Amino acid sequence: MRTDDPGILGSHRLVRHLVTPLQIVRSPEGMKISSQAFITRKEHVGISIDLECLLIANGKQADSRFGTLRDTLAMGVVTADDARQTAQGVAWTPKPLDETKEGAARDANPEHGEIILGDMGSSARRKASRALSERCKIIRQVES
């Protein structure tokens, strides 16, 4: 079971890869993040993110992994405070190399983390995804 990591400060930014047209949508004000960007299947205990503080500590920019996931359309950020207010916390969950997979899923990712959803029910997950999408800021997107 994942637990909230107090070493991740409230101001730390969490970078989310947006890879489907349902996750970033056109609005009258321009492109925005939809709640689909933070929806996961019930069996997933968290929402996959990269921890910007670790990217920077490792000499990388927040958007340095842009395009490593196939079909990346954009990247957005929320703060750890945002995640804690809407979900059950934030955890550092580094991913080891997985030779059984292909592409970015295969690669090690020492900056990987998760917004913890744990045992939140469907209604609570939808509410959290809406709140996170409203707070999410686009930091990079594919040129149109």
- Tokens standing for residue 101: 């997979």
pLDDT in tens, 64-100: 888 777 778 899 999 999 999 999 999 999 999 999 9
pLDDT in tens, 31-61: 899 999 999 888 889 999 999 999 999 999 9
Distance CA 136, CA 83 (A): 10
Using a cut of 0.75, tell me whether the model's pTM lies above it: yes
Task: Decide: 75 and 50 in contact? Cβ < 8 Å.
Answer: no
